Amino acid sequence: MNTINLKKPELYNNREISLLEFNRRVLAMAEDKDVPLLERLQFMTIMSSNLDEFFEIRIAGLKQQVAFSSVQTGPDNLSPFDQLKRVSESAHQLIDKQYKILNEQLIPDLENAGIRFLRRTRWDEKTAAWVRRYYTQEVLPVLSPIGLDPAHPFPRILNKSLNFIVSMEGKDAFGRNSGVAIVQAPRSLPRLIQIPENIGGGTYDFVFLSSIIHAHVADIFPGMEVTGCYQFRVTRNGDLFVDDEEVDDLLRALEGQLPSRRYSEAMRLEVADNCPLDIAQFLLSQFKLTADDLYQVKGPVNLKRLITLYDMVDLPALKYPGFKPGIPQNLTIGTNTFEAIQQGDILLNHPFESFAPVLEFVRQAAADPNVLTIKQTLYRTGADSSIVNALVDAARAGKEVTVVIELRARFDEEANIELANKLQEAGAHVVYGVVGHKTHAKMLLVVRREGRRLRRYVHLGTGNYHASTARVYTDFCLFTCDPDYGEDVHKIFHQLTALGRQGKLKKLLQSPFTLHKTMMQFIEQETENARAGKPARIIAKMNALTEDQVIRALYIASQAGVKIQLIIRGVCLLRPGIKGVSENIIVRSVIGRFLEHPRIYYFLNDGGESHLYCSSADWMDRNFFRRVETCFPIEDPKLNQRVFKQGLMLYLADNTQAWILQSDGSYKRSTPGKSQPKMAQQILLEELA
């Protein structure tokens, strides 16, 4: 009998610290010499983008809790105030390390490869003349400097924009001498400018926009003596507040909220490391921030913009080798997708296998005169989506097209509003899901007349209907015309678009109704099997594990002897390897060329058929209880084994790109040692692409 209190705070990692640990693993890829150089820089920019969102959403949430004197805590029992202090310390350390890697490793390595960032001190006369012409023709005409005085208060600073605070002495033509001005770099200007080869002498010589403005800042304020120029950047609260209960039209409400995100409450201030303390404190006071919110950086304050370098440099040796995603023989171009699905279920493993068959399926459905109805969920699809274009064509052709668009897909709200309007104008039925529940399920239903009967075709996936992310996210999807799957998906669409209770599903599990309950039952069954002396095993792969009931159930299962192997890319509140609690649990995170994204759950179920499910849901409170999610079994024996091997076993065997979670919440990178190096993603590329 278990006598350990499984609610003890020391049994749980903090969610925010765990998220920073994930970014620490991403940053480690930037200093991995086995990763191609430009890809290392990409990982650096990815971490910057992740941290922007971390401050916009996670830190914003904590600050709001502190402001309202909230005492709400997570399983680790840390108050919002204590979390902010710890997160600030960890984030400062992480960002300091990021710039150290940039300055001491990446920039020198890039220069050795012929890619140079030319600072002002390195400009020869020819380069300086070219830069001055560029400044005069391209930069100066769009600058709007603002001298601070009673008639010119501190300007509104756009979220994540590049800005400069300039100190100066002297008086202008009107006798003003406030001594401080703000220069905002327009977002229309590139942050990285390539210098022509005949000017700089190198094929890939670049100059930062910040360097150009620094070099010519005195020209902006003629007659004044500029004594200092320091770049800064502010990150603001990125969450949108829309009260579902008070809103009649969600789309219009979100449209009204979007502009406010650009100038909402400040969360973080980044300044150049040479910025004097009095100026930094002046900026902090303008943004109502404290010293804990100040990040002094040795380099550009907007590292995310370095992502443009990747496409500007044509040096294949510095990038991952190109590959062509595989296409199953029964889905090659020209194949009738409906006839292929009739022959049996079809599984795709993206990005190793192409996303093109999914696009082709929707195109064929739109053009097929026998197709009567198309229903689809859209969470993130991209600004120019081939799938949306096909749905528009179907609607214009007179087919019944119903699209459930999740308008509140964070940072994609504007694009999704545009998609909604485009589809409605074409005659499609567009709905926005269920009040209080995000529609996160990935499903597509096509109803086709075949002779005297109607047949339902279904596509279910673990990832979004987004062609671009399908090239860099790993995900599974399933095509089937199994009647039970078709009926289940049909019922879920009715739930989303109509009213009433649709009845029990036959094959699929669904949040917020059956998914959590069933997962708990499966875990408990493995626990009972272990107690009875039977083999018991759980393998689960997901992006995050935070739901405390599931974690406690896993602890109990571990105590009973269940072998538990978890592959969790990001946040994990569970702590493995604690004596008497989680000794039978191993947690690993795989960080590689592609972003791991599928959710796969496996339960041995000794004495019966094992359970293997793919899903759109992580094991998080929001996914179980506040979202509409789907979870579908892989029943075809061959496909079942494919998912088990490709999605789970290869990753459990990875000894090169896997990180093992320690009982103190830190991660240790796995190494091959004397064994043969194994990288799951590379093996899948070789097998499938």
Q: What is the pLDDT of residues 413-424, one digit of tens each?
A: 777 778 888 888
Q: Are residues 61 and 93 in the same domain?
A: yes
Same domain, 97 and 13: yes
Kind and range of the H or E run holding 224: none
Q: Is the sign of the CA dihedral 389, 391, 395, 397 positive or negative?
A: positive
Residue 320 lies in a domain: no
pLDDT of residue 246: 43
At 332 the pLDDT is 83
Do 150 and 47 sit in the same domain of this protein? no
Q: What is the pLDDT of residues 106-141, one digit of tens each?
A: 999 999 999 999 999 999 999 999 999 999 999 999
C-alpha span between 276 and 600 (Å, rounded) = 52
Which residues are CB-contacts of 37 (< 8 A; sequence separation ≥ 6)? 106, 109, 110, 113, 318
Residues 426 and 396: beta-carbon distance below 8 Å: yes
Measure the CA–CA gap between 190 and 118, rounded to whole angstroms.
16
Decide if 309 is inside a domain: no
Tell whether 353 and 403 lie within a shared domain: yes
The pLDDT of residue 245:
44
Is 87 among the domain residues?
yes
**352 plus 242 within the same structural domain:** no
**Top-confidence range, 301-310, 378-387, 423-432:** 301-310
Q: HSE on the CB side for 459, CA within 13 Å?
A: 24
Check if the beta carbon of residue 271 is closer than 8 Å to that of residue 296: yes
* CB 56 within 8 Å of CB 77: no
Q: Go through the chain and tell me how many residues it has.
A: 689
Q: What pLDDT, on the 0 to 100 scale, is given for residue 259?
A: 54
* pLDDT at residue 433 is higher than 60: yes
Judged against a pLDDT cut of 90, whether residue 320 lies above it is answered with yes
653 vs 417: CA distance, rounded Å:
43
For the stretch 483-525, pLDDT in tens is 999 999 999 999 998 876 767 999 999 999 999 999 999 999 9
Number of domains in the chain: 4
Predicted local distance difference test score (pLDDT) of residue 379: 87
- Contact between residue 572 and residue 544 where contact means Cβ atoms under 8 Å apart: yes
Question: Which one, of 444, 472, 474, lies nearest residue 462 by Cα?
Answer: 474
Tell me, yes or no, whether 208 lies in a domain.
yes
* pTM attached to this predicted model: 0.93
pLDDT for 150: 66
Residue 314 inside a domain? The answer is: no
Cis peptide before 190 (omega within 30 of 0): no
Q: State the pLDDT confidence band at 254, using cuts at 50, 70 and 90.
A: very low
In the prediction, which pLDDT does 406 show?
A: 83
**How many angstroms separate the CA atoms of 574 and 576, rounded?**
6
pLDDT digit string, tens, across residues 621-644: 999 999 999 999 999 999 999 999
Query: What are the angstrom distances between the C-alpha of 508 and each of 201, 443, 505, 615, 618?
Result: 62, 12, 6, 10, 16
User: Do 88 and 48 have their domain in common?
Assistant: yes
CATH code, domain with 166: 3.30.1840.10
pLDDT at 179: 86
- The mean per-residue pLDDT over the stretch 438-454 comes to 96
What pairs with residue 629 in β-bridges? 511
* 494-500, Cβ contacts within 8 angstroms, sequence gap of 24 or more: 495/434, 495/628, 496/377, 496/404, 496/431, 496/433, 496/434, 496/439, 496/628, 497/402, 497/404, 497/429, 497/431
Whole-angstrom distance, CA of residue 101 vs CA of residue 124: 27
pLDDT of residue 138: 95
Lowest mean pLDDT among 216-230, 348-362, 567-581: 216-230
Task: Give 294 or 380, the one with higher predicted confidence.
Answer: 294
Residue ranges making up the domain that contains 85: 9-113
Does one domain contain both 59 and 104? yes
- Name the pLDDT band for 151 (thresholds 50, 70, 90): low
Catalytic residue among 214, 216, 440, 466: 440
Q: How confident is the model at residue 41 (pLDDT cuts 50, 70, 90)?
A: very high
Q: Are 94 and 156 within one domain?
A: no
With respect to residue 83, please indicate whether it lies within any of the assigned structural domains: yes
Contact predicate 168/179, CB 8 Å? yes
- Residue 437 phi, psi (nearest 5): -135, 120
Shared domain for 454 and 525, answered yes or no, is no
**Does 440 qualify as catalytic in the annotation?**
yes
